[in-house]
Amino acid sequence: MTKFDIKCMDEAIKWADGCKPIKDSIPKVGAVIAVGETVIARGRRGTGVEGDDEHAEWHALRDVPDKTKLPEAVLYTTLEPCTKDVRTKALECCTELIQQHKIQKVFIGILDPNQGVTGKGLWKLQDNGMEVELFPHDLVEKIRSMNAPFIRSQQTLGATIISPKDGDILKTYETHGRYTIRFKCLNPPGTDNYLLSFRQGLCWPQPHQFRQIKERLWETDAYFGGTGEHTLHLVTVNDLGRTLIEYYRKIIRFNLDRREKLKNKISPDHLALLGGDYPGIQMNGLPKGFRSEASVAVIIAKKQ
């Protein structure tokens, strides 16, 4: 790493600091392209508004006057170049553009905190024979500081429930009490995310796993045991919240096992005295250990 490399990194950071993102989920990114000890192009991330949403690397590559020089160039970018995983137009992702222009060396400021990208951009470049180095620690701290809102935004689910909509009336009697909940999210749901259903001071953690439909779009099945008003919460839990949900699931397994063992030993009337297998947890609101990422209120219709 030379003094000129450090100079180009500093310049990339200054360009990043000039970004004006319209929301926290858009990073401040600067990119500089140099051949030898001459800077030939610069770029910064767009604001995020329609028509101004291109990445810093795209802007820098676009502004190179003589693109035949790019195989000799070095790219300095403050954020890990994106991959096909997070771009609607796969061939316009930054790693693909860098590869298309045959740039052989890339300096990266910080890895992308987006869980769908972290490390993948660096690996993609290396996998295509490009030399990759990271910015020194003191410059990394500058980049992290100016991107603190962006980094925080990537550490949440960033979810929005898109189906059902608030106030929808659901005829779950037509689907055996089941309704598919669909949501979009910034980051993939993980083992700390659950769907909960609330009704009249009771909460039911839902049993099913999340299924990915397409990029940033997921779904899961919810089951409703009663009619009337229900509120759905997509939540992130800590250790305390996870313990509560695991205990609830333990009770469910115990109830189901008990019913299976007794069903041929006692009459159906006596079996009914055991009550429901899926008792709700008494909970007027989200307790400690639960953080709501998205919610929607629905009405479960009575069968006519």
Residues 3-33 have pLDDT tens digits of: 999 999 999 999 999 999 998 889 999 999 9
What is the reported pLDDT for 186? 79
Sorting pLDDT into bands at 50, 70 and 90, what band is 92?
Answer: confident
Of 186-190, 268-272, 278-282, 284-288, the range with the lowest mean pLDDT is 268-272
Of 138-152, 197-211, 259-273, the range with the lowest mean pLDDT is 259-273
User: Residue 285, Cβ neighbours under 10 Å: how many?
Assistant: 11
User: What amino acid occupies position 205?
Assistant: P
Task: For strands 30-35 and 38-44, give the pairing.
Answer: antiparallel
Which residue's structure tokens are 């030993």? Answer: 265
What does the pLDDT average to over 161-174?
A: 94
pLDDT above 70 for 238: yes
Torsion angle, CA of 11/17/21/25, rounded to 10 degrees? 90
Sorting pLDDT into bands at 50, 70 and 90, what band is 278?
Answer: confident
- Strongest mean pLDDT among 184-193, 237-246, 272-281: 237-246
What is the share, in percent, of the chain residues with pLDDT greater than 90?
59
Of 171-175, 258-262, 269-273, the range with the lowest mean pLDDT is 269-273
Topology of the domain comprising 3-154 = Cytidine Deaminase; domain 2 (3.40.140)
- Strongest mean pLDDT among 92-96, 163-167, 242-246: 163-167
Whether pTM exceeds 0.75: no
pLDDT above 80 for 277: no
What is the reported pLDDT for 230? 95
User: Are both 3-154 and 159-300 of the same fold?
Assistant: no
Write the DSSP string, the chain. Answer: --HHHHHHHHHHHHHHHT---SSTTS---EEEEEETTEEEEEEE---SSTT----HHHHHHHT-S-GGGGGGEEEEEEEPPP-GGG-SSGGGSHHHHHHHTT--EEEEEE---STTTTTHHHHHHHHTT-EEEEPPHHHHHHHHHHTHHHHHHHTS--EEEEESPTT-EE-GGGTTTEEEEEEEESS---TTEEEEEEETTEEEE--PPPEEEETTEEEEEEE-SS-EEEEEEEEEE-HHHHHHHHHHHHHHHHHHHHHHHHTTTS-HHHHHTT--SSPPEE-SS--TTEEEEEEEEEEEPPP-
Q: Contact, 262 vs 254, CB < 8 A?
A: no
Which residue's structure tokens are 């400021």? Answer: 109
Is the model more confident about 93 or about 265? 93
Topology of the domain comprising 159-300 = Immunoglobulin-like (2.60.40)
Q: Contact, 279 vs 194, CB < 8 A?
A: no
What does the pLDDT average to over 35-62?
A: 93
Question: Cα(297)–Cα(299) distance, rounded to whole angstroms?
Answer: 7
Sorting pLDDT into bands at 50, 70 and 90, what band is 257?
Answer: confident
What is the reported pLDDT for 276? 63
Arithmetic mean of pLDDT over the chain: 89
What is the reported pLDDT for 280? 80
Question: Cα(121)–Cα(95) distance, rounded to whole angstroms?
Answer: 6
Question: Cα(249)–Cα(244) distance, rounded to whole angstroms?
Answer: 9
- Domain ranges (residues) in the chain: 3-154, 159-300
Question: Cα(94)–Cα(132) distance, rounded to whole angstroms?
Answer: 14
User: Residue 279, Cβ neighbours under 10 Å: how many?
Assistant: 14
Is the model more confident about 244 or about 114? 244
